[in-house]
Chain A
Amino acid sequence: MNQPHPFPGFSHAIVRWGVLAALVGVIFFAVPLMAKVYELRVLNNLLLYMLLGAGLTIVVGYAGLLDLGFVAFYAIGAYSYAILASAQFDFHLPFLLVLAIGTILAAFTGLLLGYPVMRLRGDYLAIVTLGFGEIIRIIINNWNGLTNGPKGIARIDRPDLLGWQITTPRDLYLFLLVVVILVYTLVFRLERSLLGKAWRAMREDQVALRASGVDTTRLKLLAFALSASIGGAAGVFFAASQRFVSPESFVLHESILIVVIVVIGGVANLIGTVIGAFVVVIVPELLRGYQDYRMLLFGLLLVLGIILRPEGLVPQRYGIGWILKKTGWR
């Protein structure tokens, strides 16, 4: 609290609020005004993956359960919106309602997946969740009557937010930005809550936690459900922004990409998740000039990253809490 001041002449508060204002100014005003459509699309993609990363961080990072089928919840959210707000069945439910439906449906599916796999750990859990992801994709691919099969669902309604029609990539950017900030705040608060501490304890030693009177099954189911609900919400945003969904968007590769986001930046660390999303979304864009070698280079970078920084790019203790502390917010 009483450390020597890094910027003599200013009070802490002025510097802090100034930096925050500058940050808000850049991401809310400068970026959307200056970025071109292509750049905004990349940024929107980044924001979506940041959301997915936050969702998976709960189950993989906090609870320590490797879930390789996360994309299934993304798909459930996306198809909820695609089916309930398009010409497919001529349902045109409002965006916010479908957002609620998609989120709850995904959370419910998360419980459904979580329940039978409670006894599994590590590799076995990874394999079963992987299978689950594929099952959902195959169902979507084959249930022509509902999902229109491999052709996908097109002409999805534009999202309408209490009168604000989200049409341009710029609108979507601002909207997703707000959502990401909101979700990250909540997930961070979850991490700091007693529940977050119990997840950490469960990661360290389940047996000891059970002997302390905590029902670890409930903790795991909660992790699955909360993480799935964020995945589902991200899916609704995805469908609303693309206005077209098909099973191709929800292949295993996507699940693995999201796990990479969570792992490469540093497990159980939201700052790490943000950086992971940057690496996974922005780096391949920067490598676009190399065409065919793009994914090869990207893969090499990931392998190098894992070898050089096995605990992720950002060590766990340098999280949001650390930043808040260092900058004097707490």
Chain B
Amino acid sequence: MALVLQFRNVSKKFGALAAISDLNVDFKPGIITSVIGPNGAGKSTAINLAGGAYPLSGGAIFLDGRDITGLPPYKLAQSGVSRTFQNLRLFEDMTLIEHIEVCELTRTFRQVPLEVFWPPAARRMAVEREKRAMAVLDKFDLAGIGHVRARDLPYGHRKLLEIARAIAVRPRVLFLDEPAAGLNFKETRALGERLLALRSPDLIIVLIEHDMDMVMRLSDEIYVLHQGRLLAHGTPDQIKGNTDVQTAYLGSPNDHQALQAAARTRESRVRIRTGEGVTWH
């Protein structure tokens, strides 16, 4: 079976709240697939389910035809499901190189005794490990600052480091949870180029992002979630022209006018946030 990540009738309830109901999506390799939707649509929940952060209430997730539902996070990562976090989760006191190195532990676990007891082997292993880590960092132009601690990095580099770490586990599926959040225009552009460069025939890239410019520019396929359900699916152009999506994001034309009317009655001028500050062209 060709590489594919499938959500089959996936649902997740938090108490009475159905965060995701009966979701069926396929993520394919070689392209960038985006998942968008207004706040609370269930995007992050979908990542967290695929990453094993919490159990599904129903349905199943398959990678390559293999049922990976309910595996613990480290096993999921080992079977190729890798992710970044919406709120950065770095090892603050460790260097960039070390961030990448620790991802190797599972693969090289048996060598730990040798590394502890036999200094010459340890030296050789350390050199090789650092070289491999540098190669990963180099893809993100971070190799030059490989010995800097994460806490001393500027925000843009911290974001990149998280993606580099997610790549270091040699993923088959890469979930990016709002990689552009907090980045400025230039940084977002640069990040977009990097993500395009990451595309490869054996890697599924799933992007969750609020920056619609970026989503439309990078994505080959888009899934739109709304209130935990799949609202639309298609290419960027199809999604742009979809009236359901516009309604979900912006409200119906009537809602919009009602809001504006409400705002006019206020003393101060209130800028109405429509959806996530999205402008539709």
> Which of A194, A198, A213 has the most C-beta atoms of chain B within 10 angstroms of its own C-beta?
A213
Also in contact, A207 and B89, with CB within 8 A (given A189-B119, A193-B122, A200-B94): yes
Cα-based distance from A209 to B91 in the complex (angstroms)? 9
B169 contacts which of A193, A204, A212 (Cβ < 8 Å)? A212
Partner-B contacts on A (CB < 8 A):
186, 189-190, 192-195, 197-198, 200-201, 204-205, 207-216
A213 contacts which of B91, B106, B125 (Cβ < 8 Å)? B106
Cα-based distance from A207 to B122 in the complex (angstroms)? 28
B105 contacts which of A192, A195, A208, A211 (Cβ < 8 Å)? A195
Cα-based distance from A198 to B106 in the complex (angstroms)? 10
A197 to B98, Cβ gap below 8 A? yes
Cα-based distance from A201 to B106 in the complex (angstroms)? 14
Q: Confirm or deny: B148 has a beta carbon within 8 angstroms of a beta carbon on chain A.
A: no
- Chain B interface residue bracket vs A: 35 or more
Also in contact, A205 and B91, with CB within 8 A (given A195-B112, A212-B168): yes
Cα-based distance from A176 to B83 in the complex (angstroms)? 48
Also in contact, A194 and B78, with CB within 8 A (given A201-B102, A207-B89): no
> Which of A193, A212, A216 has the most C-beta atoms of chain B within 10 angstroms of its own C-beta?
A212
Cα-based distance from A275 to B105 in the complex (angstroms)? 32
Binds A, one of B12-20, B32-40, B69-77, B229-237: B69-77
What are 9 contact pairs spanning A and B, CB under 8 A? A193-B116, A194-B112, A201-B99, A204-B93, A205-B91, A213-B78, A214-B74, A214-B77, A214-B106
Q: Confirm or deny: B92 has a beta carbon within 8 angstroms of a beta carbon on chain A.
A: yes
Q: In the complex, what residues of A have CB within 8 A of residue B85's CB?
A: 207-208, 211
B72 contacts which of A201, A210, A212 (Cβ < 8 Å)? A210
Q: Confirm or deny: B43 has a beta carbon within 8 angstroms of a beta carbon on chain A.
A: no
A210 contacts which of B73, B90, B111 (Cβ < 8 Å)? B73
Also in contact, A213 and B103, with CB within 8 A (given A195-B112, A205-B91, A208-B91): yes
Cα-based distance from A203 to B92 in the complex (angstroms)? 10
Partner-A contacts on B (CB < 8 A):
51, 53, 72-75, 77-78, 82-83, 85, 89-94, 98-99, 101-106, 108, 111-112, 115-117, 119, 122, 125, 129, 165-166, 168-169
Q: In the complex, what residues of B have CB within 8 A of residue A193's CB?
A: 112, 115-116, 122
Cα-based distance from A208 to B166 in the complex (angstroms)? 10
B165 to A212, Cβ gap below 8 A? yes
Cα-based distance from A205 to B88 in the complex (angstroms)? 11
A211 to B102, Cβ gap below 8 A? no
Also in contact, A194 and B101, with CB within 8 A (given A204-B92, A210-B72, A210-B74): yes
A215 contacts which of B53, B74, B112, B115 (Cβ < 8 Å)? B74
Also in contact, A213 and B74, with CB within 8 A (given A194-B105, A197-B102): yes
Closest beta carbon of chain B to A98's beta carbon, Å: 23
Also in contact, A194 and B90, with CB within 8 A (given A211-B83, A212-B169, A216-B74): no
B102 to A212, Cβ gap below 8 A? yes
Cα-based distance from A127 to B93 in the complex (angstroms)? 28
Also in contact, A197 and B73, with CB within 8 A (given A186-B116, A189-B122): no
Q: In the complex, what residues of A have CB within 8 A of residue B89's CB?
A: 205, 207-208, 211
Also in contact, A198 and B94, with CB within 8 A (given A193-B116, A211-B77, A216-B74): no
